[in-house]
Structure 1
Amino acid sequence: MASSTEDIAEQLRQAVGRLVRTTRAHADTLPGTHAETLGYLSRAGPHTIAELAALRRVKHQSMSRTVGELVTAGFVSRAANPADARSFVIMLTAEGATALEADRAARQQWVAARIATTLTPAEQDLLAQVPALLDRLSHDPSTD
């Protein structure tokens, strides 16, 4: 008997979570808080600390600490906020972009190696269809 959509949804949620956790445990080169913050800056450009805190759903104080660590590492810089002279915008530096790309590449290489060594060619062909299906599931028509 076929699984219900609820069963499939739960199995998918658990499997994706396990894959993400395992990949991070084996391949991350940056702490998760740093990678996530750098990712936001890479995708969407400069943000204030308050905006980054809201995006990551953390307290301003926590984000301020993360940004301080990223500034010390040379991965981000602060500049005057043209919209509000009382605050700063945080921008990704070239060093930060390089570190983020290295982190992403390490994860990609780890997953690719697992695919190559764990799955049969038929399973690899099946897995090749999954990203498009996940993209369809994640598409929100209300944002079109």
Structure 2
Amino acid sequence: MENSQLEYVTELRTAITRLIKKLRKESVSGQQLSLTERSTLALLQQHKQLQPTELAAMEKITNQSMSQILNHLLQLGYINRTMSETDKRRAIITLSADGEQILKQVRSERDHWLAQAIAATCTNQEQDLLKKIIAPLEKILEFE
């Protein structure tokens, strides 16, 4: 890769990283949760129910670390833990109504801030450009 391409990649990475950090700060509700805790809640919303080992694998963390995260989320009332019908040794984790609500609230706060920021700082042409960049960014996310 040429240096000019590397500069572009570095600038893109830096801008995306800064935007993510800014979005995290713009959700008062989300600040009580770590990034992994928020991601765990989102996985539970997506998959409906998962075992702790499945969550740990998806988050690429140890089972012990996931256990600590799940204990915290359980204390906050954001998840439910039940025993499997077929194997009483296995726990099944689901998102509680409060967990669903906190995810909705965090996303709403962030979306609201981002919409305001885009409207205040970007021209109509730049807003169209932002809409067009979503598909290529999603392709990058799928790259392994």
Bin of the TM-score, shorter chain as denominator length? 0.7 to 0.9
CA-CA distance at 1:83 after TM superposition: 4.9
Contact 1:28 1:107 in 2 (8 A): no
State whether structure 2 residue 37 is matched by structure 1 residue 34. Answer: yes
TM-score, normalisation: structure 2: 0.83
Provide closer, same or farther for how the CA distance between residues 55 and 83 of structure 1 changes in structure 2, counting only shifts above 3 A: farther
Unaligned runs of 5+ in 2: none
Provide the residue aligned with 1:56 in structure 2.
Answer: 59
Match for 1:44: what amino acid? H
Q: How many residues align?
A: 139
| Residue deviations 1:104-124 (CA, integer Å, cap 9, x gap) | 111111111111111122211
Once the two structures are aligned, what percentage of the paired residues are identical?
A: 32
* Aligned-residue CA RMSD (Å): 2.1
Tell which deviates more after alignment, 25-34 or 111-120.
25-34
2:99 — aligned with what?
96
- TM-score (normalizing by structure 1): 0.83
**Residue 97 (structure 1) shift:** 0.7
In structure 2, do the counterparts of structure 1 residues 18 and 83 end up closer, same or farther at CA, with 3 Å as the change threshold?
farther
Contact 1:34/1:66, CA 8 A, preserved across alignment? yes
Residue 38 of structure 1 deviates from its aligned partner by 0.4
Alignment equivalent of 1:79, drawn from 78, 82, 87: 82
Matches within 5 A, 1:1-144: 4-30=4-30, 31=33, 32-139=35-142
Partner Cα distance (1:55, 1:120) in 2: 39
- CA deviation map 1:42-65 (0-9, x unaligned): 011211112211211222222112
1:9-46 residue CA offsets vs partner (Å, 9 max, x unmatched): 33222211111111102225221232111001001121
